[in-house]
A and B are shown apart, each in its own frame.
Chain A
Amino acid sequence: MQSMKPQYIYRNYTVEYLFDSLHHFSGYGDVSPALDHKEQTVFYQLNPSFTPEEQIMEIEDIKSKISFIINLNQEARIAVVTLYRNVLSGWETKNNELLNAIDDFNINFLGSLISENRNVKIIDINTFFQSQNISLIDWRFFFTSQMIINPKLAKNFKTWFAKQISGLDLKRKKCIVLDCDNTLWGGVVGEDGTFGIKLGMDYPGLCFKSFQNLLLMLSKKGVILTVCSKNNVKDVQDVWENNTNNIINDTCLSAYRINWNDKASNIKSMAEELNIGLDSFVFIDDNPVERGLVKEFLPEVEVPDFPEKSYDLVDFFWKIYNDYFSVYELSNEDLKKTQQYKENFVRSETKKTFENMDEYLSSLEIEIDIFNGGEQNIQRIAQMTQKTNQFNLTTKRYTEQELFQVIKDGGSIYCANVKDKFGDNGITIAGIFKEDKNNIFVDSYLLSCRILGRDIEKVALIKILDQLITTNDKKIFAEFIPTSKNAVAEKFLEDVGFELIETEDNGTRKYAANKENLFKAKEYYKVNYC
């Protein structure tokens, strides 16, 4: 199997542990475009601790985010993962309204997305969960780390996901080549005779009959069926004409080769006759020698292993179907619903598709409460300086006592609480500032990566500085001390309008700014000073 290209993964909860480290991840719920990434995955799920009503609201949020992502990344191949539909364990939903909303999302919403956007593909996560037998969520890891899937499933998930992604790029197959004896029926027609072969109403003939019936369904869906069998052609034709239990015959076969030639040559000649490439063929034969030969001489042809037991034929059929012939299909009924849905969508939800980032961000109703660090927050701020490694300009660690000392010495400590219409993130930003007569020093500025991607980090710093510099026009100094973990904050000071003045030998970068050069916050951020 080809190895997976790095994906850019849009996510709303912690999912890094489910993927190999070569992939890139958005911030939590961050929908900024990722134009450099040609392969993207949208992996949004619902918060299982929410009430059904809250989850339905979350679905609406996810819809608007996905529409936005697709609007902005027209050049990329975007794989959207379905929402998990928990019908088995029941802790989440015996709630019909929520189940309907999830189904509506998975079938109608995603269905209309793929019918309108050629670059969008669907990956159905429910096919993964169906085959797992441990609990799908571990609440310890959910409540401590926002992991929405039990980390013990991570290994299985990685394998499954890689297969799904490579399946997206895989060319769908067009044609099945079938052997006859012990494949389409039990026994050998040349020896057992037209009515002696096992095909029909009791075991094991029933297994072969079911297999044939499923194959016939596949041919009605447009898959080409052919036969390649080492037999006397008369014997096989006699089965076709006289054994009524046999339903795979020349009425549904597009080509057949019944002779004693080697099967590789036969398949090649059928490919020419049907005018389709060898890479569109799947070869099904119970005989490992024949399979080996085809694999050896026609490596483009897919050659799945054949089941040992005839009662496994139905499973085998569906495996073939999933691996080579399944597409995310919509029935006519679904399409009709999709149409209705689209009309409703245009009527009532015109605001859901956003033209640009500003429109989207303003719809979020972001509110930033800025606290001039009172005693009640000192503990939280100290803790944040101890634990924050990624978005942290200087990675200076402080205890509570040290922070009180900073205040005593005339410094200022701020923190900020961030919320939007979907929820409250709590205190996620902290800053420590020192000043003298003419200057202000940004000693520390750090925040939780959860809030990145909405310019909140910039707005908060600007608004804190606004409040700090009311009385006089001081110059502002800041620095970035690189560590192995804080690359995410590397460009931040430049982005908010600071100018690099010096890079020290140890890598520390010194910056300065005047208030008027700083980034201007858009008016749709509601900022409260508390």
Chain B
Amino acid sequence: MEEKVKEIMAGVFEVNVNELPENINQENFEDWTSIKHLTLIVELEEEFDKAFEPEEISEMTSLSKIIEYISK
């Protein structure tokens, strides 16, 4: 799943997967803007067939949190 998430991130942020920092989060990756964040959430929802709550969306600002909420 982690690989798939990274692949989606790379697509949204328009970079290669290997350009994503280790343990990527909104703080250590400046292209992760609030608009891109929502695009990312939409793509994740489609890929994993989920609908996150607004509270979850605002917390899903790191790779680990994203994986945590997708697995829930």
Contacts and interface: CB of A to CB of B under 8 A. Distances in A.
B39 interface: yes
A442 B44 CA distance: 41
Nearest to A151: B42
A154 B54 contact: no
Interface residues of A, number: 15
B63 interface: no
Contacts of A133: none
Interface in B32-72: 33-35, 38-39, 42, 45-46, 51-54, 57-58
B30 interface: yes
Given A152-B46, A485-B30, A485-B33, A140 B57 contact: yes
A331 interface: no
A16 B57 contact: no
Contact of A17 (B35, B53, B54): B35
A91 interface: no
Contacts of A147: 38
Interface string A463-493: 0000000000000000000001100000000
Interface in A132-158: 140-141, 143-145, 147, 151-152, 154
B46 A484 contact: no
A16 to B, nearest CB: 5
Contacts of B30: 484-485
Nearest to B45: A152
Contacts of B58: 144
A151 B54 contact: no
B54 A144 contact: yes
A16 B54 contact: no
A145 B41 CA distance: 13
Given A484-B30, A485-B30, A485-B33, A151 B57 contact: no
A141 B33 contact: no
B57 A17 contact: no
Contacts of A17: 35, 38-39, 42
Nearest to B57: A144
B54 A143 contact: yes
A151 B46 contact: no
Contact of B38 (A143, A151, A389, A484): A151
A143 B46 CA distance: 20
B33 A145 contact: no
A143 B33 CA distance: 18
B17 to A, nearest CB: 20
A149 to B, nearest CB: 12
Nearest to A21: B14
Interface of A: 14, 16-17, 140-141, 143-145, 147, 151-152, 154, 389, 484-485
5 contacts: A17-B35, A17-B39, A17-B42, A389-B34, A485-B30
Given A14-B35, A144-B54, A485-B30, 11 more contacts: A17-B38, A140-B51, A140-B53, A140-B57, A141-B38, A143-B54, A144-B58, A151-B42, A154-B39, A154-B42, A484-B30
